[in-house]
Amino acid sequence: MPGIASNRVAPPLYQRQPRVRPRSEAKRARIVEAATQHFAEHGYHDARVGDIATALGIAKGSIFQHFGSKDGLFFEVYKRAVRSFSKYLDVPAEVRQEGFFAVLRYWLASTEHLVHEDWIPYRISLLGNYGTDLVLKREINRFLISEDPYGTVSFVRFGLERGELRDDLDIEMMVSIIDWMVERFQDALLTAELDPGLFRRQGELAEKKEARIQQFLAMLQRAIGVPPPAAVSRQKSRSNHRR
């Protein structure tokens, strides 16, 4: 897969700063923009690099010069799409004050709304997660780990600091669990519209969505949340949590 790793040239031998080359950057951006559209509409395999070039009125070779390969182009498209998403903690202050699980509920509940507003980046992310190939998928995972674009790590720290998450679990594991579960849950909600039949029985999911979100959150809370103080000495909630 040529081009995916690094498509920057070797450093200049003497002075001569390349000087940002505004033309080139602008063009890359235009290409990524158009490619996003095409990938989102046709999927990875059925998107044609030639079509993207035609749509932009440029030569196909030009795209390869900038991105090296179709994979390389898609990788840029994917990164841009994923970076456009909000991070977990980017919520209204009052939601954040309510705590970890309130934040989670906020996002699950607004998923549908967000996707209606702009479905394209979601589709791209779906393609990156399931619709290309293992080599690209590995690259994507490296990216997700190194950039943490959803801010899951700091979100989990937030939950830990507030004493809402168990401290006897690996932080790595909690991050993974959140990423996995939320991703799949959102996929299931979303693909009901974008890709009917992609995940398990989303048919009824649409109706029971509210209930599902509640169930899902309650489950997650039991799984990784601090156990409720109750049962022994009723009252006084959080003051005596260990650590």
Binding site for its own copies (CB under 8 A): 43-45, 126-127, 129-135, 137-138, 141-142, 144-145, 169-170, 172-173, 175-177, 179-181, 184, 188, 195, 197-201, 204, 208, 212, 215-216, 219-220, 222-224, 227, 231-232, 234, 238
State the Cα torsion 183-186-191-197 to the nearest 10°.
Answer: 70
Least separation in angstroms between residue 232's CB and its own copies is: 6
Identity of the residue, 161 or 204, whose beta carbon is nearer to its own copies in the bound complex? 204
Least separation in angstroms between residue 224's CB and its own copies is: 7
Q: Which residues bind DNA (CB under 7 A)?
A: 1-2, 9, 12, 18-19, 21-24, 27, 47-50, 57-62, 64-66, 68-71
Least separation in angstroms between residue 187's CB and its own copies is: 10
Q: Which amino acid is at 125?
A: S
Distance CA 123, CA 220 (A): 26
Distance CA 117, CA 44 (A): 22
Least separation in angstroms between residue 193's CB and its own copies is: 14
Residues 6+ apart with CB under 8 A from 196: 202
Query: What's the chain's Rg over C-alpha atoms?
Result: 22
Distance CA 74, CA 87 (A): 22
Identity of the residue, 28 or 229, whose beta carbon is nearer to its own copies in the bound complex? 229
**Encoded tokens for 128:** 């990156």
Least separation in angstroms between residue 140's CB and DNA is: 17
Identity of the residue, 48 or 105, whose beta carbon is nearer to DNA in the bound complex? 48
Do 71 and 1 contact (CB within 8 A), yes or no?
yes
Which among its own copies, DNA, none contacts residue 68 (Cβ within 5 to 8 A by kind)?
A: DNA
Which among its own copies, DNA, none contacts residue 42 (Cβ within 5 to 8 A by kind)?
A: none
Which among DNA, its own copies, none contacts residue 2 (Cβ within 5 to 8 A by kind)?
A: DNA
Q: Hey, is 98 helix, strand or coil?
A: helix
**Encoded tokens for 189:** 């909600």
**Encoded tokens for 19:** 């000087």
